[in-house]
Structure 1
């Protein structure tokens, strides 16, 4: 439900937050600048440029190449960001084999009926992408030191995001969803990469989700959750959890679940039906490179 502007202003003021100026979408809060950008899909010229940079003739049907989510920690210059190019770069690097589809479905993949069907690449654009991070050149500030250069790196940890606390009722100061790329697999399913962010008075939380459904064949869900609880001090605590799930339609049917693709339109409602095949907990570390 949309909040009245006056109410939103009061909530922002109470939380010590401010909307970004000049029509930008986002806000600043507790030393963070959080911004989303929504741009049109890449035109043919830019698509060709991307094909050259990525060294592939294959890209999703809809690439929102200039859309992004950026979260910048102003005191250190550290920045977390999410975009389609880095995600597709990781897709290309992972190089999964193509998902096998029935012979009848291969006909639907033909762009030209006179051409032979060759599915010799990962046409689902499955990506292991968990986001990008950097420290802005010229803006890095050493935490606890006046010398050296700051860098950031994710390290394995046992700490977990407090999902119970995130589920508690709290004012939403800012929420947005950004589509990075999408492909309908020639009407054989969906391949979709999105990132959602919400900012509360106590923390920010984001969900990067890759969702794949090859109708009648396979479902795949790769999710990355990142959380930062606002606290005193310069060095923020940022946790990241990644979970990969997937299952064939046949395996789901064997467990008594529906086998129709129409039953699986929303990944949020069926994620627990898909067995987890990989999980990882990480914490962002600020490294002093003296």
Structure 2
């Protein structure tokens, strides 16, 4: 056991050494994250909503339906200190997107089992998108510094504009050490043991850039699979000016029937990991945007 602890301590010291060599440092006071090249990257992970918080969210979102497990205090944020830009990810904003998109419910053979899933004392008609599919691709804001005021007419604004730029993902190879990595679950629902609905965000920080993947993964057993990926990439600028950020959104979707006709397995057990099957799902939407900050 002592050897195991020694190896773990060595790995931690190696990570700290790589971070220090890259000009970064770990956040203090129990915070999980790093400060590097003018960015603060921080993740927060807590327990699921309590009963009272669950009811409060239902009121705020004007719904009587929420995923089984909502991690309301979980978040990932990336803040550019000089410009004040903050990109962040949380469950509430994602569920706001679900409400606004309001997709029709997916027809499933097991729907009869679900009529009491939300309110055991009364029958619930499944006339809402119980898959909690969201178009959410992140939130952003400008944090005003001490030298700025809320009434300042020259405040920066944020726009995501369509572009033809591509992410330089060569930096994500094994050549660079990973200085910080984390995965944050925002919400999850097992669809009454008939599938999975899961929203997560992962971040990776290297000496030259950061990269994140926001992924909504849906599998309704025997019926439908849906994958909505948002990838965001930022190369660190040497002058620490306004950051250059590229965001790619790619939605894939297929029915079990259509996959079976192409010769793929029809057994839901074959699709437990989206990493192994996402290329089998046809693309139904794709766009690339870059972030512009104007004053």
**TM-score interval (norm. to shorter):** over 0.9
For 2:177, the equivalent position in structure 1 comes to 171
How many angstroms does 1:165 deviate by? 3.2
SS at match of 1:50: helix
For 1:47, the equivalent position in structure 2 comes to 54
Aligned Cα root-mean-square deviation (Å) = 2.0
Aligned residue among 93, 96, 111 for 1:106: 111
Tell me, yes or no, if the aligned pair for 1:141 and 1:150 is still in contact at 8 Å.
no
Distance 2:13 2:283 in 1: 44
Unaligned runs of 5+ in 1: none
Corresponding position: 1:160 with 2:189: no
How many angstroms does 1:117 deviate by? 5.7
- List, as ranges, runs of 4+ consecutive aligned residues in structure 1 with deviation greater than 6 Å: none
SS at match of 1:187: coil
Greater alpha carbon shift after TM alignment, 266-275 vs 225-234: 225-234
SS at match of 1:212: strand
Distance 1:58 1:215 in 2: 21
Question: Where does 1:144-223 land on structure 2 (aligned, <5 Å)?
Answer: 148-223=154-229
Number of residue pairs matched by the alignment: 283
Distance 1:139 1:147 in 2: 15
Q: TM-score when scaled to structure 1?
A: 0.93
Distance 2:147 2:256 in 1: 49
Corresponding position: 1:22 with 2:29: yes
Distance 2:202 2:267 in 1: 28
Tell me, yes or no, if the aligned pair for 1:15 and 1:201 is still in contact at 8 Å.
yes
Q: TM-score when scaled to structure 2?
A: 0.91
How many angstroms does 1:111 deviate by? 2.2
Tell me, yes or no, if the aligned pair for 2:115 and 2:126 is still in contact at 8 Å.
no
Corresponding position: 1:134 with 2:141: yes
How many angstroms does 1:43 deviate by? 0.4
Question: Where does 1:61-100 land on structure 2 (aligned, <5 Å)?
Answer: 61-100=68-107
Give deviations 1:208-266, integer Å, cap 9, x for gaps. Answer: 00000000000000000000001222111100000000000000000000000000000
